[in-house]
Amino acid sequence: MIRGAIDEAFAEYALADAMPNTDELRDLVNEKTGLTAHDGDDSGSEKSLQDIFNEFLTVNAKERDWSNVVCHRYERVWNQLIACDPEVTLDTLNKDKMIELREWYVKVLKDRNRTIAKQFRTLKSILRWMKANGYPVQESAIEYSPRLTVTKKNVTYLTREELNHFFKFKFPSNLKHLERARDLFCFMAFTSLRYSDLARLKRANITSKGIDLYTKKTSDHITIPIIDGTKELLGKYADYKPKNGNLFPVPSSQKLNDYIKEAAKLAGLDREVIDTYYIGTERYDDVHKLHEILSCHDGRRTFVCCSLAFGIPAAIVMSITGHKDYESMKPYIEIANDTKQLEMEKWNSNETKINIMNKLEKLDKDELMQVYEFVKTLA
């Protein structure tokens, strides 16, 4: 709602070949959304809490160039506060109100603790902005931190063996839509692409250096090396040439997620995955088959997990995925025992190489020639 009013306001000024300042933009958005506190001259009058939030969103959307998705995230959290207490004001928004909101999240929305903690971080960022801009926000609300048991987020991904099996699985001829969904998932797993980038990928993005593009979510410029699996899929869809120039026939994200689950079930990806989480003080341990929870974004997670398992340095993986810091990579680095086991196997492989080199050094010229001729027969 507010983001739409901001866009309309900019459009009106654009028609007049002008650019609004922050105050002008705020006033016009207030007018369009009906959130102006008073009609006529309201200089010196006290703004409502909703007016202040409206100003927060208007100013930040303009100054920080927020997308609709970001604006919606803040609007959602704000609307939840209002749903908890429609009469909330700056005077009543204190520590007690934050505790009440915490209980509302648990008992009414039944949100997981991880989600609740995230919503509070968002709300407190709004309150800090209000305080920094001279509004009398109560310090107890800003300082409040909900005491919640939060488990690590479960990372869903395919192991290299599962990915290989899925990639090579033969689908019945009457289930081409599932085969395409599998192909799109594997392409994301081979390249680390998000759904939003896959859906808009053009043939022009394929260069001699790899897949070259600016990501939609973060506008990062990335170049992704083309591995064998990627090359095979590019060849498979080489004859697909729609008018919009897209590389693949990509359905909506919801439809693709549904198809991926069906395809994974048919391919027998039924490894059990445990999702442990808390709602308030109550612990839950949900067990799912892998195919039940597999989605588009798990392709990207699979790329990261498999790359790390192969021993590719995190810095290289980050340069391909666009991750900005090691903190964002920690869930992947810590995920699975098989990754750790593969890393530890390097001790064994290195020991084997050392033993072979020691034995080769003890061979004379004729014996080395015999080894060389034998190796040629294996090639």
Domain end position, chosen among 110, 143, 176:
143
Q: What is the pTM of this model?
A: 0.73
Residues 198 and 286 both lie in one domain: yes
For 14-40, letters b (16+ CB in 10 Å) and e give eeeeeebeeeebbebbbebbebbeeee
pLDDT(89) > 90: yes
CATH of residue 265: 1.10.443.10
**Per-residue pLDDT, 350:** 56
Q: Burial level of 106, CB count in 10 A (0-12/13-18/19+)?
A: buried
12 part of a folded domain: yes
Residues 6 or more apart from 131 whose CB is under 8 A from it?
A: 137, 142
Are 179 and 171 contacting, i.e. CB atoms less than 8 angstroms apart? Answer: yes
Give domain status of residue 35, yes or no: yes
Please report the pLDDT score of residue 364 as a whole number.
Answer: 80
Give the domain extent around 370.
339-378
How many CB atoms within 10 Å of residue 167? 19
Residue at a domain's end among 114, 143, 172: 143
Asked if 84 and 119 count as a contact pair (C-beta separation under 8 A), the reply is no
- Name the band, by pLDDT with cuts 50, 70 and 90, for residue 69: confident
Give the separation between CA 97 and CA 90, rounded to whole angstroms.
11
- Residue 155 located in a structural domain: no
Q: Is the pLDDT of residue 40 over 80?
A: no
- 214, 363: one domain: no
Return all residues near 155 (Cβ < 8 A) that are at least 6 apart: 301, 305, 331, 332, 335
Please indicate, yes or no, whether residues 264 and 363 belong to a single structural domain of this protein: no
Same domain, 351 and 372: yes
User: Is there a single domain that holds both residue 354 and residue 213?
Assistant: no
Q: Kindly state whether residues 116 and 237 are assigned to the same domain.
A: no
Say which residues have a Cβ less than 8 Å from residue 17's Cβ, sequence separation at least 6.
Answer: none
Task: Answer yes or no: do 323 and 200 share one domain.
Answer: yes
pLDDT band at 257 (very low <50, low <70, confident <90, very high): very high
- Give domain status of residue 76, yes or no: yes
**Does some domain include residue 73?**
yes
Domain-embedded: residue 176: yes
**Mean pLDDT, residues 181-206:** 97
**Residue pLDDT, tens place only, 106-118:** 999 999 999 999 9
Picking from 319, 335, 351, the residue at the C-terminal end of a domain is 335
- Residues 126 and 175 occupy one common structural domain: no
Q: Is pLDDT of 345 > 90?
A: no
Q: Is the pLDDT of residue 363 over 60?
A: yes
Percentage of the chain with pLDDT > 90?
64
Using pLDDT thresholds of 50, 70 and 90, give the confidence band for residue 373. confident
Would residue 128 count as lying in a domain? yes
Instruction: Please determine, for residue 277, whether its predicted confidence score (pLDDT) is greater than 60.
Output: yes
Domain count, the chain: 3
Residues 168 and 27 in one domain: no
More confident residue, 319 or 311: 319
327 or 316, greater pLDDT: 316
**Is 80 in a helix, a strand, or coil?**
helix
Contact 278, 284 (CB under 8 A): yes
Ranked by mean pLDDT, the top range of 7-16, 32-41, 269-278 is 269-278
Give the mean pLDDT of 148-162.
91
**Residue 364 DSSP one-character state:** -
Q: Could you tell me if 315 and 242 lie in one domain?
A: yes
Residues 129 and 33 in one domain: yes
Residue 154 lies in a domain: no
Token representation of residue 85: 């207490």
Q: In the prediction, which pLDDT does 320 show? A: 92
Q: Does residue 105 have a pLDDT over 90? A: yes
The answer for 245, left when phi > 0, alpha when psi is -120 to 50, beta otherwise, is left
Q: Is the pLDDT of residue 279 over 70?
A: yes
Tokens of 59: 């100013």
Beta bridge partners, 274, equal 287
Residues 69 and 130 in one domain: yes
Q: What's the pLDDT band for 137 if we cut at 50, 70, 90?
A: very high
Q: Which two tokens stand for residue 9?
A: 């306001």
